[in-house]
Structures are given as C-alpha cells and as structure tokens.
C-alpha cells in the first residue's frame, strides 16, 4: 500500500511540478494550473464519494488496480498538448488517483492493531511525500533531457506497471468482498449523511477540506512560484521541492508515533493546523533575494506540517467508522478533501490573476488552516463544545 501510494502521488503531482515547462511550450496562462488541479479535484470528489460500494463489492486491491490504470491513461492522453485533452486527462487521472487512499484505508483498517493504527497509517502515507520527492527529482530531469511529453509517458508507464505488480496479491487480501453490495446513489447519500451526523466525523471533514486544500496549493503552485515568481530554474526549484517533501517521510512517522503513544490525535491535528498556517505565511513571504537554503528551510517547515498529517487523520477516521465500512467512511471524508483541493486552487488562481503575485493565494490557505487549528484546540479545552446539544 505504501508503494502504490507512492506511484499514485507521483502520477498526480507530475503535471503541476513540470507546469512551468508546459506553460512555456504551449504559451498558456500559468493560472490555468489551478484549473487543471480543480478538474482533478472534481474527479477525485466523485470517486471518493462513490468508491465505498465498489471497494466492498470488488475488493480494495482490485479497485486500486483500476485506479492506477485510469491514472496512467490520464497522463498518457495529456501528451497531446491540446487544452481540452488536458482537461480530459486531468479528469480521468483524478478519478483513478483518488481511489488509492480509501482502498488502502479499508485494507489497513481491517488488518492493523487498533492501538497502533495512527503509526501504521502514517507509515503507509509516507508514500505521498515519497511520490512527491520522486516527482520533484525525476520529472524536471526528464523534462530537461527529453521534454515534458516524455516525462509524462514515463510516469504513466510506472502506473501501468504497478497494476501488474498488485495482481499476485489480490487473492490474499481481497477476501472480504461482498458480491451483493449495492452500487446506487442511495447508498452514497446514506454514507455521506451518516458521516455528517457524527460530530467527530464532521470535524474530520472540515479538517480534511482545509488541510488537503492547503497541501494542493503547496504541491500545485510552489515550484511554479519559485520558477515564475522568483526566477529559479526548473531543476533548482525541483530540488528545493524534493528536499522539502523528503522531510515529510520521517515527519509522518513521527506524528503517527506521537498520536499512538503520547498525544490524542484530535489535539495533534489542531496543533498541526496552527503550525501549517505559520509555515504557509512564511512561504508567502519568500523573496527572490533570499538564499536557496532559506527558501528550502521554509519549504521544509511547510512539508513537516501541511504534508505530514494524513496518517493521523485517516487513522482517526478509521477508528470512528462503523464496523466493515472503513473504506466507505474514509471515502466520504476524503470527498471533503477533494472539495478543498477544488476550491482552494481556484481561489489561488483568482488571486494570482488579480494581484499578479503568489503570496495572497498562499495566505488564503493559511487562514483556513489557522481557523481549524484554533477551533480544534478550543474544543479540546472545552469538553462541552465537543458535542452539540
């Protein structure tokens, strides 16, 4: 599950990370990167909202294979270079990539020791920074050596290979399939309604919206910000990004260990919300005169907070889920994350078009994360506020 999460993240993040080269080659507005991210987020929203029934009916491994196949197809068609095809590729890839997390949560939620779930989920989620690090190192290098189209085709081929690599594992792990599981809009509505009725899960939905949205700004615009806004070359910007997300690997494991042994997950998530708000504010303040190490340090602070919380939150969602419905519940909560990944990049693009600068867009994400953190801490110190009357 860690490996498939790595390749799923690599596939989803490659286009934004080499966007500077694509924008230059096609002569389009950089703000369209936000539109690309938003299209993928819409597709991801649809997937996470409705994937629960498919996971229960066909199995977590099978749906992971379907998702990786769709992601590879989405990347492959994008190489045509025509904007409508770009939109189609973003949608197809978004449909596929979004299956990765709910399917792996369904599997690990069934197999993980309950008291170690935050740590186990955090270890699995290290696939996200690992995928981002690979993308930051490999994709710009491929662009320089062979062009952006070849870079996309290479990553698509890795997605296709992962489909084949997972096949031998299916018989062992997809043993909880329910062939009679209905696949209907009514089941989706009931799943979402169940999540929103539970105050604790509703809180996770709000946090997911804000945190995923902020992470989308970092992964989708940071390299573009360095190249177009601060004058970095693509390889140097990719190296800064890769260094930053590498820090997220031990950070995720560390947060998972803390949530399993010392700090309640809800409290830790609130503190991380405040931390990522501060780090994002520093990102908005980076200046072209800063040395590279200073920009990298700020990016690392962003990575430790905004790119490292997932295992803690997903384990908490799994703990709160009804028995046998971890994948469906995780999908419903993740749908709010995809909504954040839709709304915040669009707001960022609007701010970029209106101001011509990148800082204001990052500050929008910082304010939302700060609000989640403050409200979360207030609820932790005021027990009466945790459950509505």
Average pLDDT taken over every residue of the chain: 83
Mean pLDDT along residues 312-335: 79
**Please, are residues 203 and 16 in contact by the beta-carbon 8 Å criterion?**
no
User: pLDDT per residue over 196-210, tens digit each?
Assistant: 888 888 888 889 999
Mean pLDDT along residues 47-64: 82
pLDDT of 374 higher than 70: yes
Please give the pLDDT value at position 272. 92
Distance CA 72, CA 76 (A): 6
Mean pLDDT along residues 120-125: 79
Give the DSSP letter string of 31-99: THHHHHHHHHHHHHHHHHHHHHHHHHHH-HHHHHHHHHHHHHHHHHHHTT--HHHHHHHHHHHHHHHTT
- 10 Å Cβ neighbour count for 181? 15
Report the percentage of the chain scoring pLDDT > 90: 14
User: pLDDT per residue over 272-295, tens digit each?
Assistant: 999 999 999 999 888 888 888 898
Please give the pLDDT value at position 334. 81
> Is the pTM value of this prediction over 0.85?
no
Where does the chain have alpha helices with state H? 2-17, 19-26, 32-58, 60-78, 83-97, 100-111, 117-125, 127-146, 148-166, 170-173, 185-197, 199-224, 234-261, 265-285, 292-306, 310-320, 326-355, 359-381
User: pLDDT per residue over 207-261, tens digit each?
Assistant: 999 999 998 888 878 888 888 888 888 778 888 888 888 888 888 888 888 888 8
SS3 144: helix
Any idea which architecture 2-169+184-382 has in CATH? Up-down Bundle (1.20)
Burial class (CB in 10 A: 0-12, 13-18, 19+), 31: buried
Report the C-alpha dihedral over residues 166, 171, 172, 175, rounded to 10 degrees: 120
Tell me which range, 20-34, 61-75, 166-180, is most confidently predicted by mean pLDDT. Answer: 61-75
Report the alpha-carbon angle 54-36-209, nearest 5.
Answer: 60
Helix (H) or strand (E) holding 181: none
Please give the pLDDT value at position 323. 72
Mean pLDDT along residues 187-198: 76
Please give the pLDDT value at position 34. 73
Q: Which of 32-36, 234-238, 352-356 has the lowest mean pLDDT?
A: 32-36
**CB burial readout 228-248, b (16+ within 10 A) else e:** bbeebebebbbbbbbbbbbbb
């Amino acid at each position: 599950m860690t490996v498939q999460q790595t390749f799923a993240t690599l596939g989803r993040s490659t286009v934004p990370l080499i966007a500077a080269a694509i924008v230059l080659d096609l002569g389009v507005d950089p703000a369209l990167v936000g539109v690309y991210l938003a299209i993928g987020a819409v597709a991801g929203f649809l997937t996470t909202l409705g994937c629960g029934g498919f996971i229960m009916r066909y199995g977590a491994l099978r749906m992971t294979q379907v998702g990786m196949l769709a992601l590879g197809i989405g990347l492959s068609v994008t190489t045509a270079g025509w904007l409508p095809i770009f939109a189609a590729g973003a949608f197809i890839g978004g449909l596929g990539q979004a299956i990765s997390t709910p399917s792996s949560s369904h599997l690990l939620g069934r197999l993980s020791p309950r008291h170690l779930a935050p740590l186990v989920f955090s270890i699995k989620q290290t696939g996200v920074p690992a995928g981002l690090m690979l993308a930051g190192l490999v994709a710009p290098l491929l662009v320089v050596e062979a062009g952006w189209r070849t870079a996309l085709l290479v990553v698509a081929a890795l997605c296709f290979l992962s489909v084949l690599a997972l096949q031998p594992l299916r018989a062992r792990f997809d043993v909880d399939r329910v062939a009679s599981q209905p696949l209907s809009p009514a089941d989706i509505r009931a799943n979402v309604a169940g999540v929103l009725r539970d105050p604790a899960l509703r809180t996770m939905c709000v946090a997911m919206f804000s945190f995923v949205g902020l992470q989308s700004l970092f992964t989708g615009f940071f390299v573009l910000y360095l190249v177009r806004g601060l004058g970095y070359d693509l390889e140097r910007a990719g190296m800064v990004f890769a260094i930053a997300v590498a820090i997220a690997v031990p950070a995720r494991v560390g947060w998972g260990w803390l949530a399993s042994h010392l700090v309640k997950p809800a409290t830790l998530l609130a503190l991380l919300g405040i931390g990522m708000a501060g780090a994002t504010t520093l990102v908005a303040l980076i200046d072209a005169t800063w040395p590279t190490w200073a920009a990298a340090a700020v990016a690392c602070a962003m990575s430790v907070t905004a790119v490292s919380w997932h295992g803690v939150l997903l384990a908490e969602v799994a703990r709160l889920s009804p028995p046998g419905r971890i994948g469906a519940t995780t999908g419903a909560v993740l749908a709010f994350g995809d909504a954040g990944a839709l709304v915040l990049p669009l707001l960022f693009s609007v701010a970029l078009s209106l101001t011509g600068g990148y800082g204001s867009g990052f500050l929008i994400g910082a304010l939302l994360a700060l609000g989640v953190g403050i409200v979360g801490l207030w609820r932790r110190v005021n027990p009466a506020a945790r459950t509505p009357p």
